A and B are shown apart, each in its own frame.
Chain A
Amino acid sequence: MIAIILAIVLGLVMISMAIAALTAYRVRAAVLASGIVSLIASIIYLLLAAPDVAMTEAAIGSGLTTIIFFYVLNKIRRSDV
């Protein structure tokens, strides 16, 4: 039951983060929000008994992807990114 409540809370956070990613003024914030979505996803994966996936998502989906994003953002210097 706790797991379910936790999952619902995490799911809601994920969805709001996703919406935040689409509405954020700066792209940096959007990228960060989508990174958080991934990160929370990896926690949910743990709840869903998928530690392998959780690890991968955390390392690659949330970690590396965000890093690559920031690398590119750094190359594009504009006010709104």
Chain B
Amino acid sequence: MYKNMFIILLLAGFGLLLGSFLLTHHEYLSLPQLPAYYADNTAPEVGAANVVTAVVVTYRGFDTLGEVTILFVAASLIAMFLKHSKAPRHDRHPRPSSVILSTSQKLLFPLIVLFGAYVFANGHLTPGGGFQGGAIIATGFLLLLMANPQAEFKHGLLNAIESISGTSYVIIGILGAILGLGFLDNRFISLGQLGTLFSAGAIPVIYSLIGLKVGAELSNILHHLNEVQNEE
């Protein structure tokens, strides 16, 4: 109990620190130089309508590469960690999933994947992008898993998608360095007409690859969790 009181005191101190921020901080009246630059120059320089996407994929593309890597390493860790606990499944009594679920997944799965693809392919125009699209695809995969919990999915396909899209992402980054001005520069493909699907140089390509990769990684995580034997 004393310990909890102590923690509350400690957190009160932390809260004071945060509170002091509220006092010294003022809401911007206008954007500082850097975001203002992004707002004004994204369209001519990067060619993306969605400034956040431009920042995520190009200006701070290196962060995004790291972000993809984090998901990748998390997925690898989970795969490595759960691999050992795989045991023969004969003792399980599969419970057939409902007819509704199994038929709906046949119908829904392609639709969800399509929607995900739409979200990441249009990331440079509308809200959304690779991560959101990837998550949506993973949701579709989840549906598959729920419909056939006992199904033996082939890791191979997921892995291949993940590897190839990831590698392509890095290669496009390198192409940016060779053909453009720097690593992950999107401008080595023509910027095109602002607001159209095929614009913003390599951004749609990159975001699609990210979408595929994230989708595959998240699906992989779900799959591995699904594979783990139940604990009694």
Q: Is there a direct interface between A and B, measured as CB atoms under 8 Å apart in the complex?
A: yes
Q: Is the CB of A72 within 8 A of B128?
A: no
Q: Is the CB of B127 within 8 A of A67?
A: no
Q: Is the CB of B225 within 8 A of A55?
A: no
Q: Does B139 contact A (CB under 8 A)?
A: yes
| Distance A76 CA – B232 CA, assembled complex (angstroms) | 7
| Distance A66 CA – B187 CA, assembled complex (angstroms) | 38
Q: Is the CB of A55 within 8 A of B230?
A: no
Count residues on chain A whose CB falls below 8 Å from chain B CBs.
18
Closest to A58 in B: B132
Q: Does B165 contact A (CB under 8 A)?
A: no
Interface residues of A in 61-76 (CB under 8 A from B): 63-64, 67-68, 71-72, 74-76
Q: Is the CB of B127 within 8 A of A54?
A: yes
Residues of B within 8 A of A60 (CB): 131-132, 135
| Distance A68 CA – B219 CA, assembled complex (angstroms) | 11
A71 vs chain B, min Cβ distance (A): 4
Residues of B within 8 A of A71 (CB): 222, 225-226
Residues of A within 8 A of B226 (CB): 71
Q: Does A13 contact B (CB under 8 A)?
A: no
| Distance A56 CA – B135 CA, assembled complex (angstroms) | 8
| Distance A76 CA – B136 CA, assembled complex (angstroms) | 26
| Distance A77 CA – B226 CA, assembled complex (angstroms) | 14
Residues of B within 8 A of A77 (CB): 230-232
Question: Which secondary structure dominates where chain B touches chain A?
Answer: helix
A2 vs chain B, min Cβ distance (A): 19
* Cross-chain contact of B50 among A52, A63, A67, A74 (Cβ < 8 A): A52
A17 vs chain B, min Cβ distance (A): 19
Known A63-B139, A75-B230, A77-B230; judge A56-B131 contact (CB<8 A): yes
Interface residues of B in 11-69 (CB under 8 A from A): 50, 52-53
Question: Chain B 116-152 against A: per-residue CB contact (8 Å), 1 yes, 0 no?
Answer: 0001000000011101100110110010000000000
Q: Does B221 contact A (CB under 8 A)?
A: yes
Q: Does A59 contact B (CB under 8 A)?
A: yes
| Distance A51 CA – B129 CA, assembled complex (angstroms) | 11
Known A-B contacts: A71-B226, A77-B232. Give 6 more (CB < 8 A). A52-B52, A54-B127, A59-B139, A60-B131, A64-B218, A71-B222
Residues of A within 8 A of B (CB): 50-52, 54-56, 59-60, 63-64, 67-68, 71-72, 74-77
The 15 listed contacts between A and B (C-beta, < 8 Å) are: A52-B129, A56-B135, A59-B131, A59-B135, A59-B136, A60-B132, A63-B135, A63-B139, A64-B135, A64-B218, A67-B139, A74-B230, A75-B229, A76-B231, A77-B232
